[in-house]
Amino acid sequence: MTLRVLDVCAAVVFSDDGRLLLATRRPGSHQAGKWEFPGGKVRPGESLEDCIRREAAEELGLQIAAAQPMLAFDYAYPDKTVRLHFMRCSLAAENAPEAREGQAFAWLSAAEVGGLDLAPADQAMLTALRGMATESLPPELRLVDRRLAERLLDWLASGQAAERRPEPLPDWLRVPFSGGRERLEMRSLLRNSQLHTVCESAKCPNLCDCWKRRTATFMLLGDTCTRNCRFCAVKHGRPSPPDPLEPQKIAEGIAALGLRFAVLTCVTRDDLPDGGAGQMAAAVTAIHQRCPGTRVEVLCSDYGGDVACVDLVLQAQPAVFGHNLETVSRLTPIIRSHADYARSLAVLHYAAEHAAPGTVVKSGLMLGLGETPDEVKQTLHDLKQAGVSMITIGQYLRPTREHWPVARMITPREFDEWRDFAENEVGFARAVCGPLVRSSYMAEEAFDAAQATRA
């Protein structure tokens, strides 16, 4: 049986700095959420150029100044063959994309695209195009304009070169190893108590410093996350059932360490009805009972936006309720697995409105993911409007080559400027900013400073 052939146009658009525009398939569509070259079906009687102009305008509000056929690629589905016509497009001046159909979009380097969940046809085309370098193109790919196709091939090669040449860390990110004896003692205590710390699981650069000072951030609900965020070193998979004795174990561990201030975080557990909120609340309560002088900070997931789960944690009365927004709105769909920018803000706002008097609501951002200064400013204003009073801002560091690449190293001076902006212009009670700052680093000192400012 001969399969019907469906003609589809796809736009190949480069930014001035050599990044490629990709977008996700709109919600409710076939393969919704997968990344692709923006475009759509060719209508009867419509030319390829007219098609890509219409699709670009409808999907992303783009005005195409010129469009040239570049290559065609056939991809077979069980019930049809899609013939993708890739068009090299240039945009009209002063024209920026906007999501008009609920999809995400991003300007990406080839290295950044490497780990994206691409639509199968787009992924297959990029794989086939690599054969152009050895003159071994498969029959399903046909070059229309070799020069234009070579531009896309060069872009692919730039990503491979970037993977081979990792950038050296700047001096301000080189952390000397210290605290050897204290570090071993802390590790022994944690192992004997069968406790997990985010210090180890997330490969925190401050591990030696914190453990030397006998402080740690405890991670509840195991060390395996149900989500797979592109920035995070915590392993992804199917977690074990919760340990009902874990809250008591953590309380005993904190008592043994003699901590005055404890930080609790947890892997995201979308497999649990309450997202793990009950376990977090039980741990806070156990610490209050076993160590009444210890203040507790919690760093929670978004609980899928379920405010009943947020209430469970708030009722245990932690000193700090934290949920990290992590990055700007535009990058959230790419960086944070199954997360939503507006949902995170809603969780923080609910916590600020319903927390006990004196509880500080806190969030955190990473810089160096590809965000712009204006996007960071807007994000800080969004967080303040949601009721967040304390913010941490640190440098994103890529855990492995499989994770999102670092777009830029932010200098210590820039972090100082962000601290001044957050505190003096936006109005946060406390902003802890620096290359090595992480959510829970110097948490007690930051909390005390925020309380003093609020007083």
Quick check: helix, strand or coil at residue 180? helix
**Pick from 73, 53, 54: nearest CA to 65:** 53
pLDDT of residue 165: 47
Rounded Cα–Cα distance for residues 269 and 160 (Å): 34
pLDDT of residue 193: 60
Handedness of CA 46, 48, 53, 56 (dihedral sign): positive
Say if residue 135's pLDDT is above 60.
yes
Residues 6+ apart with CB under 8 A from 90: 13, 64, 65, 66, 67
At 164, the pLDDT band (50, 70, 90 cuts) reads very low
User: Mean pLDDT throughout 284-298?
Assistant: 95
pLDDT of residue 413: 96
Rounded Cα–Cα distance for residues 213 and 209 (Å): 6
Say if residue 374's pLDDT is above 60.
yes
Rounded Cα–Cα distance for residues 160 and 114 (Å): 9
Distance between start and end Cα atoms, the chain: 77
Rounded Cα–Cα distance for residues 36 and 25 (Å): 7
What domains can be seen in the chain, in order of their start residue?
A: 4-164 (3.90.79.10), 171-454 (3.20.20.70)
Q: Which residue has the higher pLDDT, 74 or 19?
A: 74
Q: Which residue has the higher pLDDT, 138 or 450?
A: 138
Q: Which region among 57-61, 188-192, 297-301, 351-355 has the lowest average model confidence (pLDDT)?
A: 188-192
Percent of the chain whose predicted confidence (pLDDT) is above 70: 84
Residues 6+ apart with CB under 8 A from 266: 219, 220, 221, 276, 279, 280, 299, 300, 301
Quick check: helix, strand or coil at residue 285? helix
Convert the pLDDT of each residue in 48-68 to its tens digit.
999 999 999 999 999 999 999
User: Mean pLDDT throughout 132-143?
Assistant: 81
Give exposure, 180-204, as e/b (b: 16+ Cβ within 10 Å): eeebeebbeebeebebbbbbbbbeb
- Environment class of residue 4 by beta-carbon count within 10 Å: exposed (0-12), middle (13-18) or buried (19+)? exposed
Q: Which amino acid belongs to residue 405?
A: P
Alpha carbon 73 to its chain centroid, in Å, reads 32
Say if residue 183's pLDDT is above 90.
no
Average pLDDT of the residues of the chain: 85
At 181, the pLDDT band (50, 70, 90 cuts) reads low
Say if residue 310's pLDDT is above 70.
yes
Residue corresponding to tokens 């620096």: 434
Helix or strand (DSSP H, E) at 443: helix 443-454
Residue 42: C-alpha distances to residues 4, 8, 46, 125, 140 (Å): 14, 5, 6, 19, 19
Q: Which residue has the higher pLDDT, 11 or 236?
A: 11
Rounded Cα–Cα distance for residues 172 and 410 (Å): 10
Query: What's the chain's length in residues?
Result: 455
pLDDT of residue 384: 98
pLDDT of residue 29: 82
Convert the pLDDT of each residue in 389-403 to its tens digit.
999 999 998 877 667
Rounded Cα–Cα distance for residues 384 and 378 (Å): 10
DSSP-derived secondary structure letter, 327: S
Contact, 220 vs 269, CB < 8 A? Answer: no
Residue 192: C-alpha distances to residues 168, 187, 272, 324, 369 (Å): 37, 9, 27, 30, 37
At 115, the pLDDT band (50, 70, 90 cuts) reads low
Convert the pLDDT of each residue in 331-346 to its tens digit.
888 788 778 999 999 9
At 306, the pLDDT band (50, 70, 90 cuts) reads very high
At 44, the pLDDT band (50, 70, 90 cuts) reads very high
pLDDT of residue 80: 86
Largest pairwise CA distance in the chain: 77
pLDDT of residue 166: 53
Most confident of 169-178, 228-237, 312-321, 396-405: 312-321
Q: Which residue has the higher pLDDT, 276 or 223?
A: 276
Quick check: helix, strand or coil at residue 157? helix
Q: Taking the CB of residue 323, how many other CB atoms lie within 10 A of it?
A: 25
Q: Which residue has the higher pLDDT, 400 or 78?
A: 78
Rounded Cα–Cα distance for residues 354 and 249 (Å): 29
Give exposure, 117-144, as e/b (b: 16+ Cβ within 10 Å): ebbebbbbbbebbeebeeeebeebbebb
Rounded Cα–Cα distance for residues 150 and 133 (Å): 9
